[in-house]
Structure 1
Amino acid sequence: MSKFCPSCGEQLADNAKFCKNCGMNLETQQQTQQTTGTQQTMPPYEVQKVEEDHKIAIIIGYVFAILIPIIGVFIGVYLVTRKDSEKASLHGKIIIALSAVIWFISFKLMGY
């Protein structure tokens, strides 16, 4: 017989002590139910969306945009396509523009 987490509804093993999804302590919940004799209703578990950081990719993107612009363009495209972070998308656009400018300047300095 399977049991379910009273907080998030995740299906659990019969001998589970904690919910593998939300981390709720199931032993405390069972003790509370035994003490009061009733099943407590938990408020709905809300998952807050956390924006991905992408700090390392942003830093590497700026470094490569200056040193090796073609790699900076690839990293910029990677950051622009991140749907989970507006900040990463903005920095990706800046990195692509910076790479293009550095690339243009380097070709002008070489005489092309």
Structure 2
Amino acid sequence: MVKRCPQCNTETDDDSRFCPKCGYHYKIEEPKYRRIQVKAVQCPQCHSRIYNLSYGFCPKCGFEFQTKKDNVTYNYLEVVEQSEHQNSIIYGYILSILIPFIGIFFAIYNITRKGDAEARSAGINQLIISLVFFALDLSYIYLFIKAGAVNPNKFKLF
């Protein structure tokens, strides 16, 4: 196939980087690839996640991942990509335990990530953990006040 120089209209080969007549530098568009980290694959038959591929078949339904026909190997795996919101998931779990009030905000952020099932399920877990630890914090404060360890009259604002 032949391409034309936009400056002098000279025909050149497709793989040439410069125009031989005027020296115009062709812009070579390289495809942009996105690197993904694979955590698991999904069985095409039962849709369960598989983390160990050494078996060669699904441990849940027995579906074979590879079949050989006419000296050709066919792979029947669907790749499950790692979540793009991995940092917010990690911070959400940490803050859900240490500072539950802030952990609730991370949980809501992760729940509202559309198209990312891992972030959504992590957000629901974080919300539950945050609410449990928030309730525990309130009960500890109540017990300290009731036991007399903390004088509530000291902390009056008005």
Aligned partner (choices 15, 31, 34) of residue 26 of structure 2: 15
Q: Which TM-score applies when normalising by structure 1?
A: 0.57
Aligned partner (choices 92, 96, 99) of residue 127 of structure 2: 96
Q: Aligned-residue CA RMSD in angstroms?
A: 2.5
Q: Which TM-score applies when normalising by structure 2?
A: 0.41
Which structure has the highest helix share of the two? 1
- Contact 2:83–2:118 (8 Å) recurs in 1: no
> How far apart, in 1, do the equivalents of 2:130 and 2:83 lie?
24
Partner residue, 2:111: 80
> How far apart, in 2, do the equivalents of 1:69 and 1:61 lie?
9
Question: What residue ranges of structure 1 are gaps of 5+ in the alignment?
Answer: 2-13, 24-49
Aligned partner (choices 89, 96, 111) of residue 65 of structure 1: 96
Indicate the SS of the match to 1:84. coil
Indicate the SS of the match to 2:88. helix
Identity %: 28
* Deviation of the 1:51 alpha carbon: 6.0
* Deviation of the 1:87 alpha carbon: 0.7
> How far apart, in 2, do the equivalents of 1:94 and 1:77 lie?
11
> How far apart, in 2, do the equivalents of 1:16 and 1:51 lie?
33
**Greater relative CO (CA pairs within 8 A, separation 6+):** 1
User: Which letter maps to 1:17?
Assistant: I
Partner residue, 1:38: none
User: Which letter maps to 1:16?
Assistant: K
Which structure: larger Rg?
A: 2
> How far apart, in 2, do the equivalents of 1:51 and 1:101 lie?
28
- Contact 1:65–1:99 (8 Å) recurs in 2: yes
